[in-house]
Amino acid sequence: MSNLAERKARLIVHGETPYNAEPPLVRLRAAYLTPADDFYVRCHGDLPAIAEDEFRLTVDGAVSTTLKLSLHDLRSNFSHVVVTATMQCAGNRRADMRVVAPVSGDPWDGGAIGTAEWTGVRLADVLREAGIHDGADKHVAFESHDTVEGHPYGVSIPLAKALAPETLLAFAMNGEPLLPEHGFPLRAVVPGYAGVRSPKWLKRITVQDRPSDNPIQANDYRLYPPDVTAETADPAKGHTINTMPLNAVICEPMRGAELTVGTNRIRGYAISGDRAVVRVDVSGNGGRSWAQASLEHDANTPFAWTFWTIALDLPAGEHELAVQAWDEAGQTQPSDPNDTWNYKGYLNTTWHRVRVSVT
């Protein structure tokens, strides 16, 4: 197995502390299941080192029995499930929002996303073992071992999503124990939601009446209109980003590629948090005309990305490739980053555009 330094060398590193990195897009498109070595890493604080035999998960709050579970307890007392799911940062494609105005945060290209086969136990099974108290508007709060600006990392999800069959406490990724940077020994995987709601290095799960008051949940990862600035942002008025929107990215060729006149293969991914991607259109002329790509779809993976391919005939010259996906509700993506710009640079879903020159 590789070590962290070797894995870092494979990625485009946006920051060392906290460690943030993404793979080049061509490598991301090479395999439907992203190898752990090529999987983007998003950290808010330190990288905690946790010894497997000292690990305990506490489950408490509005439950009948407080649980303290070792990794062995989790593995042996609950059924194992495998879910293929895409993890995606709410800041994926943020870099392209900078054409409008500066945004805060790391300048992610389209690689803050990856798909894995996650193995673990259902969060629902663990919560039922603890016995959830009745009550409608409940939330499941998570606390982790890493520290972010003096607080432990913490977020929450609505109880309904916590009880959904796809929501896991995962101990393995693509059949191997989690790597340290992906949350060893245990993380949540909340398919369809922004990556921020899938805490790594889990420590505590609390059932409660309100969302987590941790700053990450209470202040960060909110979507604001374009006129809101860092100075005027009021988290109470921001929309909490949970379910991820429809998006699509051209992975191949990459920006600035030099292509040859004739048929060229264009490939990429499309994704939607809770709807099926039904169509992907690709343009060779900046969106004036479109052709339909073929989808490589696996019907058994509703929470994972769709890979697409198209062969385009490109004449000599400078061209702007563009992509837009369509979902089962007939929704598609905005064309212009001005339409969705926000100072945090979240949820950039505008047409992904790639300039190439053809000779």
Ligand X SMILES: Nc1nc2c(c(=O)[nH]1)N[C@H]1C(S)=C(S)[C@@H](COP(=O)(O)O)O[C@H]1N2
Residue ranges that bind ligand X, judged by CB under 6 A: 39-44, 87, 89, 144, 146, 153, 182, 195-196, 198-201
Among all residues, whose Cβ is closest to ligand X? Answer: 195
Among positions 72-131, residues that touch Mo ion (CB under 5 A) are: 89
In the numeric block, which tokens belong to residue 275?
Answer: 């709807």
- Report what 44 binds from Mo ion, ligand X, none; CB cut-off 5-8 Å by kind: ligand X
Q: Which is nearer to Mo ion, 25 or 347 (CB)?
A: 347
Least gap, CB of 225 to ligand X (angstroms):
22
* Residue 25 identity (one-letter amino acid): L
Q: Which is nearer to ligand X, 173 or 312 (CB)?
A: 173
Cβ contact 278:328 at 8 Å: yes
Q: Which is nearer to ligand X, 147 or 292 (CB)?
A: 147
Among positions 45-74, residues that touch Mo ion (CB under 5 A) are: none
Least gap, CB of 194 to ligand X (angstroms):
7
- Report what 116 binds from ligand X, Mo ion, none; CB cut-off 5-8 Å by kind: none
CA distance 242 to 309: 29
Least gap, CB of 278 to ligand X (angstroms):
26
- 352-358 and 258-259: which strand pairing? parallel
Spatial strand order in the sheet of 277-283: 258-259, 352-358, 317-327, 277-283, 291-292
Least gap, CB of 272 to ligand X (angstroms):
17
Cβ contact 358:260 at 8 Å: yes
Count of CB atoms situated within 10 Å of the CB of 346: 26
Phi first, then psi: what are they for 296, rounded to 5°? -105, 90
Count of CB atoms situated within 10 Å of the CB of 165: 12
CA distance 50 to 55: 7
- Report what 193 binds from Mo ion, ligand X, none; CB cut-off 5-8 Å by kind: none
Name the one range near Mo ion by CB under 5 A: 16-24, 167-175, 188-196, 244-252: 188-196
Among positions 28-47, residues that touch Mo ion (CB under 5 A) are: 42
Residue 293 near Mo ion by CB under 5 A: no
Nearest 5°: the CA angle 249, 308, 332 is 55
Residues that bind Mo ion (CB under 5 A): 42, 89, 195-196
